[in-house]
A and B are shown apart, each in its own frame.
Chain A
Amino acid sequence: MIGVLLRGVLAGSILSGTLLLYATLGEVIVERSGIVNLGLEGILLIGASVAFAIASVTGSAYLGVLAAAAAGGIAMLLFGYLVVGRRANQLATGLAMMFFGMGVSALVGKSFVGGVIAGLPKYRVPWLSYLPWVKGSTLFNWDILVYLAIPVAVLAWWLLFRTRWGLGVRAVGESPTAAFAAGRRPELLQYQALFLGGLLGGVAGAHLSVSLTMTWNEGMTSGRGFIAIALVIFSKWHPLRAIVGAIVFGGAEALQLQLQAQGAQVSPFLLDMLPYILTLAVLIAWGGARRSAAPAGLGRTFYGTE
């Protein structure tokens, strides 16, 4: 019984956690450059609606994912123009982007609601997926975005911590003036980071609509953008720790449904609250230590805790 529960939670957490990971990675890169994007929810929605629309029209879910990435990137460039180009308040701009994403996604997705698409094809790992414990579950029988999630996280880590570009981005996040003095171009680096974040956010949204649910619904991301923002802090702005965070949070989501499917006697609402309370609890428990891990120049008006 426990084995089945564990397997179910693991399987569920990987499925739910994939899009959380992509979204978190995007936001990590963005915040490392010193910008907070509260509008991540809007980017996810744009990605989800565009992916579904293109997949419906072209019949290819892969094209949908690519289109979603592009749409996310473009939306983030708009965000960038406002917060970098016009030095607008990041929080307000972020929330405006959230509303923008809600509206644009509703408009784009309107004609495609109820459409049926084939979804991203799934690939089985040759003999791993036939192991006795694994067989019959969704483990090792995933679409390409799931398989690529961890490699992308490693790539993000490598980009941020092992390349000159990443060093520049992080320097801008710590102190734009110092970076400028050192010969970098802070604004260009920020635009690049934002664009990359948009690509990843678009992909995250796409996974929801063309793989997990194979449908489009207004507002279907249900606050996952905000969970990702919390996850960024949870993982101390580090792409590799984000993997753990995404699995834990995907797992919390999966746990309550798996428990129900086992007949557990817990209120579904209390279980539903778990991911959010968990985030808050973790933030409180490790809050002190985390603060110093934040890029010093993050958001300026965003980070009041010194």
Chain B
Amino acid sequence: MSAGLSAAASVRRVISRAPLFLRYLFIIALALGIFALILVAAGKDPFKAYADTFAYTFGNVYGFSELIVRMIPLLLTAVAVAFPARIGMINVGGEGQLYMGAWLASGGALALSGFPAWALLPLMTLLGFIGGAVWAAIPGILRAKKVVNETIATLLLNYVAPMIISYFVFGPWRGVESSSYPQSPAFSDGARLPSFFNTRIHVGLLFALVSLLAYWAIVEKTRWGVQMRAIGGNPEAAERLGIPLVLYMVIVMAIGGGVAGLAGMGEVSAIQGRLRQGLSPGYGFTGFLIAWLAGGNPLGILLMTFLFAVITSVGDILQITQGLPYSVVNILMAVILFVVLGRRSVRRASR
């Protein structure tokens, strides 16, 4: 037991002396190694699983394009967490905000289905942003007024949002041509975000990259960003300096939620082509973990999102070629987090 602990300590010392990029590489290698052990214990072949994943995602145009498709909503939900985190607000409500963005954007698509794309798409984008923004503003106000902690409020609203969608796809928005299935009518062509080439990579990628860039620009380059960091560090001091705390909190949460709402709009407009249940396989939570792992660093968010997208592929492969439930890949995600969480210094350095 103590031998194991001192081995862990020496590994830690080695890793903390290496440059940042190598550090991340070691963490990933370590996590992959631990996960491989778990797979072996379960009687499966980890090398084949990793090899198949490599072949599918990097040896194959479609596979690689799917990685990018996966990254789009994750980048958005990660920014949705990172932005409010700058002032110390914890937004775990990415799921709900995504759904509400999808809902409002769908409302626009269905109500204005005759509109041409150049009018409808920007409108839907705005609606998607507003949907998510409002859904995040509610917990924002509650927190700013010191009524309810935003972590709990955003968590609870995560469950309410999908039910609102269910109500609409079973009721007022139920598609007629498929009244046998709970979904909205298919969106008109004008409501569909275009994709690139023959893949599913869609314009939402632009939203994601712009959001990430905007996040970086605001936080690093503007006075607003400096103010946010001040608030995040010491709320009382900020208040004494005359910064309107309540307004800040609500606006920042709303922006974060709005970005997550864009993810929802992208999903219904580009990927699904209609509103239905089950839009998000946990994008909101995964985004939280990505943002946290990256320490709020925009480049880190990009890299971690890529990593998580690859992990998704591992899950698919495990399911198809090894007969394990996809969910097992959550262990790999958790192990990566445990390894990082177990090492305080990485987070401090990247902040």
Contact = CB atoms under 8 A, between A and B. Distances in A.
Interface of A: 38, 78, 81-82, 86-89, 91-93, 95-100, 102-107, 110, 218-219, 223, 226, 229-230, 233, 267, 269-270, 272-273, 276-277, 279-280, 283-284, 287-288, 291, 301-306
Contacts of B146: 287-288, 291, 305-306
Contacts of A219: 327
A106 B347 CA distance: 30
Interface string B135-163: 00000001100111111110111011001
23 contacts: A82-B342, A89-B341, A92-B288, A93-B338, A95-B289, A96-B337, A96-B338, A97-B334, A100-B335, A103-B331, A105-B327, A106-B326, A106-B327, A107-B325, A110-B325, A226-B156, A230-B155, A267-B171, A272-B163, A276-B157, A283-B152, A302-B149, A304-B235
B288 A95 contact: yes
Contacts of B164: 269, 273
B42 interface: yes
A107 B153 contact: no
Contacts, number: 152
A89 B292 contact: yes
Interface in B276-305: 285, 288-289, 292
B333 interface: yes
Given A89-B292, A95-B289, A273-B159, 5 more contacts: A93-B338, A106-B325, A223-B159, A273-B163, A280-B157
Given A102-B327, A107-B42, A92 B152 contact: no
B152 A233 contact: yes
* Residue from the set A98, A107, A219, A287 with the largest chain B CB neighbour count within 10 Å: A107
Q: Which 7 A-B pairs have the closest CB atoms?
A: A103-B330, A103-B331, A100-B334, A106-B327, A96-B337, A287-B147, A88-B341
A287 B333 CA distance: 35
Contact of B328 (A86, A107, A267): A107
Interface in B74-115: 88-90, 92
A103 B327 contact: yes
A88 B344 contact: yes
A304 to B, nearest CB: 6
Dominant secondary structure at the B interface: helix
A303 B324 CA distance: 39
A82 B292 contact: no
B42 A96 contact: no
Contacts of A305: 143, 146-149
A277 B163 CA distance: 11
Nearest to B150: A304
Nearest to B142: A284
Given A86-B341, A86-B342, A99-B330, A92 B324 contact: no
Given A86-B342, A88-B342, A89-B292, A288 B330 contact: no
Interface string B32-53: 0000001000100000000000
A291 B326 CA distance: 40
Contact of B334 (A89, A99, A288, A306): A99
A283 B150 CA distance: 11
Interface in B205-238: 235
A304 B328 CA distance: 34
A61 B143 CA distance: 44
A97 B335 CA distance: 9
A230 B329 CA distance: 28
Nearest to B293: A92
A103 B341 contact: no
A218 B330 CA distance: 12
Nearest to A91: B90
A280 B327 contact: no
Nearest to B166: A269
B292 A92 contact: yes
B167 interface: yes
A104 B329 CA distance: 9
Contacts of B156: 226, 230, 276, 279-280
A92 B147 contact: no
